């Protein structure tokens, strides 16, 4: 595990002897790259991403906390994706590398969200796996509630050819269509238009089929799954995504969005997303 400069932001580069690699930025505790052993890049990081701290980094795995999207009055996707985290534990074994980054409230975050908390993101690369765990502790004296997500941008060869399996029969809120509540009735999700859905209560693992490579996606603690692709028009409106960027990304996010998670003083919560290159 090495500290590196990634486009002007301090980051940690993880590597295992077997050849898995990942890069985690201290800005937002955002994973920017993941290459499973013997494979190629599996996360989408926009070539037009901005790293000067003025805006979130487009791509990788942004951490959304204590608010997912615009579900409340806080800034979109919360307050930790645009702030520096500190490095905690760093460990490597024969076949894995682990880092923990920590964020503790500051005067600045208190002014936006008046709560005492510690958020910890633990990243483990091991063989074909990437495990990402977000832990939140209420270190104050009163209860608080939050929504959250690991806003994972997966790299796909051609989004129209990608197939996401495992969501059949699930209810979802369609943010791309007036927040209508629908039920998925297809064997797989195919993205061929703007897609922005919050699937509720997903207990099954998902499988992303992408040309000749597959990815298993598992979550624990995060009850919901968000599937997002901005498609052509919305992509064109995002200055930090190239015009064809939407073709090479698909966000499949582990989220706690439908219901807020409530934590009493002293309580903790943890949610995890695992990606497995198959």
* Nearer of residues 91 and 180 to ligand TA6, judged by Cβ: 180
Using CA atoms, how far apart are residues 9 and 60, in angstroms rounded to an integer?
14
- x/- site string to ligand TA6, residues 245 to 274, per CB under 6 A? ------x-x---------------------
Angstrom distance (rounded) from CA 219 to CA 248: 23
Does position 228 bind ligand TA6 by CB under 6 A? yes
Exactly one of 26, 69, 217, 219 binds ligand TA6 (CB under 6 A); that residue is 69
One of 49, 202, 206, 226 touching ligand TA6 (CB under 6 A): 226
Chain positions 172 to 211 lying near ligand TA6, rule: CB under 6 A, are: 175, 196
Q: List the catalytic residue out of 77, 120, 151, 248.
A: 151
The smaller minimum CB distance to ligand TA6, of residues 119 and 249, is found at 249
Return the structure tokens found at 101: 């980054």
Closer to ligand TA6 by Cβ: residue 129 or 247: 247
Among 20, 34, 77, 256, binds ligand TA6 (CB under 6 A): 77
Q: Print the binding letters for residues 43-62 with ligand TA6: x by CB under 6 A, - otherwise.
A: -------------x------
Residue 246 phi, psi (nearest 5):
-60, -20
Provide the token pair at 234.
């919305």
| Three-state SS at 192 | coil
**How far apart are the C-alpha atoms of 147 and 259, rounded to whole Å?**
7
88 to 147, contacts with ligand TA6 by CB under 6 A? none
Strand partners, 206: 217
Q: How far is the CB of 62 from ligand TA6 (least distance, A)?
A: 7
Q: Which of 76, 91, 180, 183 binds ligand TA6 (CB under 6 A)?
A: 76
User: Could you tell me if 24 and 101 are in contact, meaning their C-beta atoms sit under 8 angstroms apart?
Assistant: yes
User: CB within 8 A of 111, min separation 6: which ones?
Assistant: none
Angle of CA points 194, 200, 204, to nearest 5° = 100
- Listed in sequence order, the residues at least 6 apart from 162 whose beta carbon sits closer than 8 Å to its beta carbon are 156, 190, 191, 208, 209, 210, 250
**CB within 8 Å of 241: residues ≥ 6 apart:** 46, 48, 58, 230, 235
Catalytic (active site) residue 253: yes
DSSP 8-state secondary structure symbol assigned to residue 108: H
Which residue lies nearer to ligand TA6 by CB, 129 or 200? 200
- Select from 26-34, 69-77, 86-94, 125-133 the region that touches ligand TA6 (CB under 6 A): 69-77
Q: Does 224 bind ligand TA6 (CB under 6 A)?
A: no
Contact residues toward ligand TA6 (CB under 6 A) are 56, 69, 76-77, 151, 175, 196, 226, 228, 251, 253
């Amino acid at each position: 595990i090495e500290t590196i400069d990634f486009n002007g932001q301090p980051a940690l580069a993880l590597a295992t002897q077997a050849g898995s690699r990942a890069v985690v930025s201290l800005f937002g505790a955002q994973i920017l790259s993941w290459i499973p052993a013997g494979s190629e890049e599996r996360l989408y990081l926009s070539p037009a991403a901005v790293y000067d701290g003025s805006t979130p980094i487009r791509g990788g795995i942004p951490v959304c906390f204590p608010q997912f999207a615009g579900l409340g009055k806080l800034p979109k996707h919360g307050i930790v994706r645009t702030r520096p985290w500190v490095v905690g534990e760093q460990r490597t074994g024969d076949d894995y590398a682990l880092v923990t980054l920590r964020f503790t409230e500051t005067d600045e975050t208190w002014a936006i969200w008046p709560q005492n908390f510690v958020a910890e993101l633990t990243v483990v690369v091991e063989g074909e796996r990437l495990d990402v765990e977000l832990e939140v502790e209420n270190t104050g004296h009163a209860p608080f509630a939050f929504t959250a997500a690991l806003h994972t941008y997966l790299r796909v060869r051609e989004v129209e050819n990608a197939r996401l399996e495992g969501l059949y029969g699930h209810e979802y809120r369609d943010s791309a269509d007036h927040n209508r509540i629908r039920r998925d009735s297809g064997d797989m999700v195919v993205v061929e238009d703007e897609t922005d859905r919050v699937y509720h209560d997903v207990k099954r693992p998902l499988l992303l089929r992408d040309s000749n490579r597959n990815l298993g996606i598992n979550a624990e603690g995060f009850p919901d799954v968000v599937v997002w692709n901005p498609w052509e028009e919305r992509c064109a409106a995002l200055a930090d995504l190239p015009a064809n960027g939407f073709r090479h990304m698909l966000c499949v996010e582990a989220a706690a969005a439908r219901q807020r998670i409530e934590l009493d003083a002293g309580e903790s919560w943890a949610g995890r997303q695992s990606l497995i290159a198959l």
